[in-house]
């Protein structure tokens, strides 16, 4: 935001003799500042919202951005028009105004246009400066994990049942396990019998 504010202040220094290159690099600085400010600002606002209100927060943020842009354009346009910049620009844009107006009138129109233009940019720079102050006093950014409620994992209770078997029962269990694993063929029965005579 500070870079954008600087770009607006530099743009307010343009005059009738400024070249296209001087206009372009000033506008580039302003655009760079806006691009560097918006993503982290949006992230900070979304992280400050509760986890279960992310959808509503996103909608409010988008609406506030559109309203803010509309108001800023309306404010800058009103200041520019109120200063006579619209009328002066319309007259200066007519073909060959120098042949219609005297040199003093032409200079007065140029001065009116530039003064209105600078006033609008200075007001925008003042709004950007207010945004800088607000961003500095809002405190540290909230971590995304701060809004997530940590639910403890369910405890797995292992129960150990008493398991007492006689030697005969153990051999029968071995036979059933072999039948389950290898089927009921003759070769499998041989394996089962061999397991019955285990020590």
> How far is 180 from 188, CA to CA, in rounded Å?
10
Stretch 52-65: mean pLDDT = 88
For residue 94, is it within any domain?
yes
Which of 104, 126, 142 lies at the terminal end of a domain, its last residue? 142
Question: Between residues 66 and 177, which one has the greater pLDDT?
Answer: 66
User: Does 104 lie in the same domain as 63?
Assistant: yes
As a residue count, the chain comes to 199
Domain count of the fold of the chain: 2
Given a contact cutoff of 8 angstroms between Cβ atoms, the answer to whether 99 and 77 are in contact is no
Across 4-13, 47-56, 98-107, 118-127, least confident range: 98-107
Residues 33 and 93 in one domain: yes
Predicted confidence at residue 97, as pLDDT, reads 56
Res 26: pLDDT: 92
Residues 117 and 188 in one domain: no
Residue 129 maps to a domain: yes
* End position of a domain, from candidates 126, 142, 158: 142
| Parent domain of 132 | 2-142
Residue 29: pLDDT above 90? yes
Q: Is residue 186 part of a domain?
A: yes
User: Are residues 14 and 66 both part of a single domain?
Assistant: yes
**Distance (Å, rounded) from C-alpha 9 to C-alpha 145?**
39
Supply the pLDDT for residue 96: 62
Output the pTM of the full model. 0.61
Res 163 pLDDT > 80: no
d(CA 142, CA 40) in angstroms, rounded, equals 12
Q: How far apart are alpha carbons 170 and 180 in whole angstroms?
A: 15
pLDDT beyond 70 at 152: no
Percent of the chain with pLDDT over 90: 24
* pLDDT reported for residue 80: 93
Q: What is the pLDDT of residues 74-97, one digit of tens each?
A: 999 999 999 898 888 888 887 765
């Amino acid at each position: 935001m500070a870079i954008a504010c600087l770009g607006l202040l530099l743009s307010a220094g343009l005059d009738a003799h400024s070249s296209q290159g001087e206009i372009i690099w000033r506008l580039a600085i302003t655009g760079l500042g806006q691009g560097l400010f918006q993503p982290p600002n949006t992230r900070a606002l979304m992280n400050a919202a509760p986890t279960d209100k992310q959808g509503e927060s996103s909608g409010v943020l988008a609406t506030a951005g559109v309203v803010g842009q509309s108001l800023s354009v309306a404010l800058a346009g009103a200041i520019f028009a109120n200063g006579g910049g619209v009328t002066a620009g319309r007259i200066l844009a007519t073909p060959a105004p120098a042949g219609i107006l005297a040199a003093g009138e032409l200079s007065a129109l140029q001065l009116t246009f530039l003064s209105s233009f600078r006033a609008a940019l200075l007001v925008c720079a003042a709004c950007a400066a207010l945004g800088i102050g607000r961003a500095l006093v809002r405190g540290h950014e909230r971590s995304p994990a701060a809004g997530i409620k940590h639910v403890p994992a369910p405890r797995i209770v292992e129960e150990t049942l008493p398991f007492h078997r006689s030697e005969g029962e153990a051999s029968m269990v071995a036979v059933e396990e072999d039948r389950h694993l290898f089927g009921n063929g003759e070769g499998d029965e041989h394996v089962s019998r061999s397991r019955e005579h285990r020590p």
